[in-house]
């Protein structure tokens, strides 16, 4: 129990640490996304500004070329256009100044763009380092998950063993109950037999008392007959007969005493067997209760390990989600090539039901069907050519349907 409590505390602590680490990873990922978005916006603005500056430089260069052409033309016609040359000279100077300014702005924009690219490179390196730091955590969580699964398997095996043992004990207990019921029936029969024997003993005792009374009467009569033996010959004969009856009664009394002792011995043996059966039944019940308690404890431990396993699997899935999100962020920072697809609405000359019928072998399938649910929602397009028995699936980074806006 102490070990289970210690394991539970250690698991809770590890779970809290993993939760804190996952929260920190989420915050770092959110910060990385925000920084990447800001950097992307800044790069886009810098690129737009550089494009505008390049356009301005091209315009200025064109103006400069035209101005130089005008100057050459004016030089060729210097004799006729001295006034025109004097008028165009300030414009030429201003144009040259604008060209130099545009060149300086373009150089500055390139410098800023290079700095932003360097900053993005550093952020990409930091994101890679963070991903490398998260991979050991994910591997550690995977190892803990495997360990928890192994412990769950061991606990399940122990539970099955204890359940089998409990079933065996229950079978033994059932057999013991049967033996106990048989012993109870035998005990009941023995008690009935004892009752009968006690009744017979009581009857025998009463008969004995009657016989002893008859014997006493016979003795008295014998003594009286002996006193009158000489006077009455018939009385002597009766006395002899009474003496014979007394001897027979004594013999019958001895037989009844021996039977009573045998029945008492059998009753004592039956009572001893009944006590042994009751003790065996109590011992079996105690063992069954102990096995049930052990099985309940193992089942509780198994349930706890299953909950712990589910929690570890949830943490592992969350870590995989965070890892996937960071991987996607890194790939976006690297600059993936994204492919988009847009399904145009049907023209006036086309069948407006093309979105529902017209495709497939029998024309009962839509020509184009956009997946709107599941993992590939908004990224999968199924094409069913008219008269064709097979459909074709195409996957894109994003698919815009017929009702999608232009922006």
pLDDT in tens, 128-163: 676 666 666 656 666 666 676 676 676 566 667 666
pLDDT in tens, 30-43: 777 777 777 777 77
* Spatial contact of 158 and 4, defined as CB atoms under 8 Å apart: no
Residue range 379-389: average pLDDT? 85
Greater model confidence, 239 or 380? 380
Same domain, 158 and 40: yes
3-class secondary-structure state, position 371: coil
pLDDT in tens, 273-320: 777 766 776 777 777 778 777 777 777 877 888 888 888 888 888 888
> Is 310 within the bounds of a domain?
no
pLDDT in tens, 163-177: 666 666 566 656 666
Same domain, 91 and 197: no
Residue 209 CA from chain centroid, whole number = 85
**CA separation for the pair 194, 188 (Å, rounded):** 10
Same domain, 173 and 157: no
What pLDDT score does 40 carry? Answer: 72
- Give the CATH number for residue 225: 1.10.287
pLDDT in tens, 184-196: 676 566 567 656 6
Same domain, 141 and 184: no
* Spatial contact of 401 and 370, defined as CB atoms under 8 Å apart: yes
What pLDDT score does 261 carry? Answer: 76
What pLDDT score does 116 carry? Answer: 63
> Is 29 within the bounds of a domain?
yes
* Spatial contact of 299 and 159, defined as CB atoms under 8 Å apart: yes
Same domain, 193 and 293: yes
Same domain, 91 and 240: no
Same domain, 275 and 394: no
Residue 34 CA from chain centroid, whole number = 35
Residue range(s) defining the domain that contains residue 394: 340-400
Return the percent helix, strand and coil in the chain, to nearest 5: 80, 5, 15
Instruction: For residue 360, name the pLDDT band (cuts at 50, 70, 90).
Output: confident
Residue 126 in tokens: 């930091």
- The kind and range of the H/E element at 156 are helix 82-227
Residue 375 CA from chain centroid, whole number = 23
Of the chain, the end-to-end C-alpha distance in Å amounts to: 64
DSSP-derived pairing of the beta strands 340-342 and 398-400? parallel
Same domain, 10 and 146: yes
Same domain, 357 and 213: no
> Is 90 within the bounds of a domain?
yes
> Is 274 within the bounds of a domain?
yes
What pLDDT score does 85 carry? Answer: 55
Same domain, 355 and 291: no
Residue 23 CB coordination number (10 Å): 10
What pLDDT score does 291 carry? Answer: 74
What pLDDT score does 148 carry? Answer: 62
Same domain, 148 and 232: no
Same domain, 74 and 130: yes
Q: State yes or no: pLDDT of 24 exceeds 80.
A: no
Instruction: Output the average pLDDT for the chain.
Output: 71
Q: State yes or no: pLDDT of 95 exceeds 70.
A: no
Number of domains composing the chain = 3
Output the CA angle 335-341-347, nearest 5 degrees. 155
Instruction: For residue 332, name the pLDDT band (cuts at 50, 70, 90).
Output: confident
Residue 330 in tokens: 């890194």
What pLDDT score does 110 carry? Answer: 66
Residues 6 or more apart from 205 whose CB is under 8 A from it? Answer: none
> Is 308 within the bounds of a domain?
no
In this structure, of 57-71, 179-193, 358-372, 385-399, the range with the lowest mean pLDDT score is 179-193
> Is 306 within the bounds of a domain?
no
3-class secondary-structure state, position 392: strand
> Is 405 within the bounds of a domain?
no
Instruction: For residue 27, name the pLDDT band (cuts at 50, 70, 90).
Output: confident
Greater model confidence, 291 or 92? 291
What pLDDT score does 376 carry? Answer: 81
């Amino acid at each position: 129990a102490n070990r289970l409590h210690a394991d539970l505390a250690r698991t809770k602590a590890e779970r809290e640490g993993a939760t804190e680490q996952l929260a920190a990873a989420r915050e770092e990922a959110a910060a990385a996304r925000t920084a990447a978005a800001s950097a992307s916006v800044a790069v886009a603005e810098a690129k737009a500004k550089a494009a505008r500056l390049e356009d301005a430089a091209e315009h200025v260069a064109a103006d400069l070329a035209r101005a130089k052409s005008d100057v050459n033309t004016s030089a060729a016609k210097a004799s006729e256009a001295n006034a025109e040359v004097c008028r165009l000279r300030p414009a030429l100077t201003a144009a040259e100044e604008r060209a130099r300014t545009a060149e300086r702005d373009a150089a500055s924009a390139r410098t800023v763009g290079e700095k932003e690219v360097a900053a993005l490179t550093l952020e990409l390196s930091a994101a890679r380092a963070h991903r490398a730091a998260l991979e050991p955590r994910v591997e550690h969580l995977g190892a803990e998950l495997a360990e928890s699964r192994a412990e769950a398997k061991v606990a399940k095996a122990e539970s099955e063993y204890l359940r089998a043992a409990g079933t065996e004990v229950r079978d033994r207990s059932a057999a013991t109950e049967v033996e106990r019921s048989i012993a109870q029936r035998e005990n009941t029969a023995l008690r009935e037999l004892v009752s009968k024997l006690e009744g017979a003993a009581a009857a025998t005792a009463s008969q004995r008392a009657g016989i002893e009374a008859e014997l006493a009467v016979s003795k008295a009569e014998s003594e009286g007959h002996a006193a009158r033996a000489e006077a009455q010959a018939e009385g002597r004969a009766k006395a002899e007969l009474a003496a014979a009856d007394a001897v027979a009664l004594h013999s019958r009394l001895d037989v009844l005493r021996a039977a009573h002792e045998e029945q008492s011995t059998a009753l004592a043996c039956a009572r001893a067997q009944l006590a042994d059966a009751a003790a065996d039944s109590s011992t079996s019940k105690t063992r069954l209760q102990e096995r049930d308690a052990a099985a309940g404890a193992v089942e509780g431990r198994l349930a706890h390990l299953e909950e712990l396993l589910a929690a570890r699997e949830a943490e592992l899935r969350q870590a995989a989600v965070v890892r996937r999100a960071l991987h996607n962020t890194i790939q976006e920072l690297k600059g993936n090539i994204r492919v988009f697809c847009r399904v145009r609405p049907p023209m006036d000359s086309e069948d407006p039901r093309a979105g529902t019928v017209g495709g497939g072998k029998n024309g009962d399938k839509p020509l184009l069907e956009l997946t709107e649910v599941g993992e590939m929602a908004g990224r999968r397009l199924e094409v069913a050519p008219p008269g064709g028995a097979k459909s074709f699936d195409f996957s894109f980074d994003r698919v815009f349907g017929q009702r999608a806006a232009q922006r």
